[in-house]
Structure 1
């Protein structure tokens, strides 16, 4: 752990791509090494604290987009598919944690990051895959950076859309102007270098999110429905829009970027993946909340669900306005937390070593330049494609299909490859092959559908000429 309390990158460990030694067999002395017993954490989290962090990371804009996701999938299909995707995601997260544990045992180190775990796992797999150990680690870094920056783009659009809804009754401005107004505060807030300094703001964001979510559910159950709610409910949805649903649900449910960090920082890490442990308990709560909000939100607004359910709340209701402000503030704070991940990956993994060689006295300056540049990049992307729902579907399908499904399945195959051939191993490999195929299909279909929908959203709608 570093002075900020984050997991440090163990770049000094043996490069698995250069080692052909397999994961130790059961009888190997290395089997006695337990990474959990060698972790020296100054401030480890207990089970309840880890559960709270897991819930916080999964309750953001994704849950507010679930009603629109149900509008694309249909009510019955949405409920069933959300539960199934939740089970799939939970299983893949278990696979990821187990594979990371096996990689740590192989290198005899207490902690590894996600890219290091992928590299180590592939280095222990079939000979044909070992050459891809380093490229796979780089690919994970790229997907993590793209995903986290994608979340930041989503957050900018979300904040601007919701502020516009509050301000429009008094003064109408384009959503891009609202994005420009919040850019300065976002850059200033993103220059805070330590998560410890952001901790009080994170606690405020948690409180605002849970209070706001409770009020949203109240409106969905007791509020006056919009005129579109008179449309008939679609129970089964359409195959054409289902990939968009899949991408949205993956975006909402998959906290793959933080799962390893949470498990790495636990006081009792073995409780994370136990049958009634943190992961299963947290994902059960999350899936129930997402199904509930998605179902009652879709019943509330039917075919006209907005990108965020907050945009469908009554316009002139003070309580509804307060909810919109709560979520805007909470997401504003969360932007800085999510932008912290790509800063850490790019700065510590790639830029800092070069800066230390060329300009060691300007490290802080270059770090600030990186933070400002990433803010400007997410701002430009958000202005270029101000489509919140499609952004969510795109980054969910593109990044989380790979990070949350494909890579964990590939890692499990590799860490179990040295075991002797058996029926159990063949079944395991068959299961992982199926998961990999599901991930690839979801990635291709979801990304293609989201990109096509984004392009179509910018095309003018043809006017319908009434017949004489």
Structure 2
């Protein structure tokens, strides 16, 4: 990771133009000459294709299957428009986050900074008004990242159990969904015991092929006898938009996994190129989300469930195969998304405290098993898929995907300026305001609905 001897401030951020002396010019030249990507040492780096497979697997999971339900809270006109807008904002925030982290790596001459380390250094070297939060920045960011990906894994437990339940109910015996959550525990323990992304790459590749086949079958059922579109609402009440906002944010953003993928790449420069993995991947994701959300809502209307697989016929064999297919692909995605939580808890905090290094693998496996158990208990407590999606998306991704990237760019640009008319500063303030408003409203509405449902 990074050196432990990063100085508290290595740059002069007084914000005033001045004539640079020889020492400053040499220092700037050293910064310009240092390329963090060339100094990274990853034990098992992933290729472009492996990274792309992971990206699609992480981004096209249960979230995309929830898009018809999300559109039911927005309408068939608002839905596609807002999805593309939110997706564009999320993509921009990912770019400014990765670029800001890269710039800080150059300044500090380190190969890589984690999200929390970058935020801490940004607040430390940025506007003085932010410096009071420096001591709590690292655990705060790490905590939100770990909790967000933990929340995703909780949603995945519910998703797998509900799809398996429909198949078992039809062919064997009717059981409570919580019992099916118990049945998936052992498979989750096994997949989650794989501790690096390179070993998970073959699973992601196979899962993506299965995912494509599953989508084709879902679209077959959706396009089968579509009702008149006049029976659907082009716009929904404003009060329903917060649930839509949280669900779409959950579906689109996977900030922790995206940063982990970029960190573990053999050629990380290919990640953020104009036609790189991030832009191509997000474009594919947004097109799929908009199409499935639009046609899924057109087909099922207000009856659209937290996953569209729960709407397709329960009795037909083809539909049952599709449900099992998506359960398997989600099983793989659980390990990819959960990688972030385990990485933060174990590699960043607990591994340094162990005295016997020979038992580190055992301890890490125990930590991973504990995470699986905790996701199971949370899923049992809140088995409502759509509300869980919205809550996790609104609470965590407003902060991680919108607010923090904007604040980090404000800090990184503090010394060099914000451009003509301070356009970057204004833009980032708007992003922060949008994230705060969406997060507060979406989270509060989700919590109220969860309480109402379980009274």
**Fold shared per TM-score above 0.5:** yes
The superposition leaves residues 90-146 of structure 1 with CA deviations (integer Å, 9 ceiling, x where unpaired) of: 110111011011110111112222112212222210123234234222211111111
Distance verdict in 2 for CA 1:373–1:45, change over 3 Å: closer
Q: 2:338: which partner in 1?
A: 339
Q: 2:17: which partner in 1?
A: none
SS in 2 for 1:73: coil
Q: How does 1:47-126 map to 2 (within 5 A)?
A: 47-126=48-127
The worse-fitting range, judged by mean Cα deviation, of 159-168 and 110-119 is 110-119
Match of 1:453 among 446, 449, 455: 449
Q: Given the alignment of the two structures, is residue 10 of structure 1 paired with residue 2 of structure 2, yes or no?
A: yes
Q: 2:208: which partner in 1?
A: 206
Q: 2:186: which partner in 1?
A: 184
Deviation at 1:159, TM superposition (A): 0.7
Q: 1:174: which partner in 2?
A: 176
Match of 1:403 among 379, 387, 400: 400
Q: Is the 8 A contact 1:23 1:102 kept in 2?
A: no
Q: 2:366: which partner in 1?
A: 369
* TM-align CA RMSD: 2.4
Q: Given the alignment of the two structures, is residue 21 of structure 1 paired with residue 50 of structure 2, yes or no?
A: no
SS in 1 for 2:354: helix
Q: 1:292: which partner in 2?
A: 291
Q: Is the 8 A contact 1:22 1:125 kept in 2?
A: no
The superposition leaves residues 259-294 of structure 1 with CA deviations (integer Å, 9 ceiling, x where unpaired) of: 233333445544433333332222122111100000
How far apart in 2 are the matches of 1:156 and 1:93?
27
SS in 2 for 1:75: coil
The superposition leaves residues 409-431 of structure 1 with CA deviations (integer Å, 9 ceiling, x where unpaired) of: 0000000101257634x211111
How far apart in 2 are the matches of 1:309 and 1:193?
31
Q: 1:6: which partner in 2?
A: none
How far apart in 2 are the matches of 1:245 and 1:22?
44
TM-score by length of 2: 0.91
SS in 2 for 1:314: coil
How far apart in 1 are the matches of 2:433 and 2:153?
29
Match of 1:438 among 415, 430, 434: 434
How far apart in 2 are the matches of 1:286 and 1:447?
24
The superposition leaves residues 382-408 of structure 1 with CA deviations (integer Å, 9 ceiling, x where unpaired) of: 001101111111111111111110000
How far apart in 2 are the matches of 1:337 and 1:50?
11
Q: 1:151: which partner in 2?
A: 152
Distance verdict in 2 for CA 1:231–1:176, change over 3 Å: farther
Deviation at 1:191, TM superposition (A): 3.0
Q: 2:143: which partner in 1?
A: 142
SS in 2 for 1:132: helix
Distance verdict in 2 for CA 1:37–1:177, change over 3 Å: closer
How far apart in 2 are the matches of 1:49 and 1:351?
29
Distance verdict in 2 for CA 1:420–1:322, change over 3 Å: closer
Deviation at 1:436, TM superposition (A): 0.6
Q: 1:162: which partner in 2?
A: 163
Q: Is the 8 A contact 2:50 2:198 kept in 1?
A: no
Q: Is the 8 A contact 1:244 1:393 kept in 2?
A: yes
Deviation at 1:40, TM superposition (A): 4.7
Q: Given the alignment of the two structures, is residue 383 of structure 1 paired with residue 383 of structure 2, yes or no?
A: no
Q: Which runs of 5+ in 1 are unaligned?
A: 1-8, 460-468
Q: Which runs of 5+ in 2 are unaligned?
A: 15-19
Deviation at 1:79, TM superposition (A): 1.0
Distance verdict in 2 for CA 1:344–1:305, change over 3 Å: same
Deviation at 1:23, TM superposition (A): 6.6
Deviation at 1:441, TM superposition (A): 0.9
How far apart in 2 are the matches of 1:422 and 1:192?
46
Deviation at 1:354, TM superposition (A): 1.6
SS in 2 for 1:241: helix
How many residue pairs get matched?
A: 443
Q: 1:260: which partner in 2?
A: 259
How far apart in 2 are the matches of 1:56 and 1:292?
18
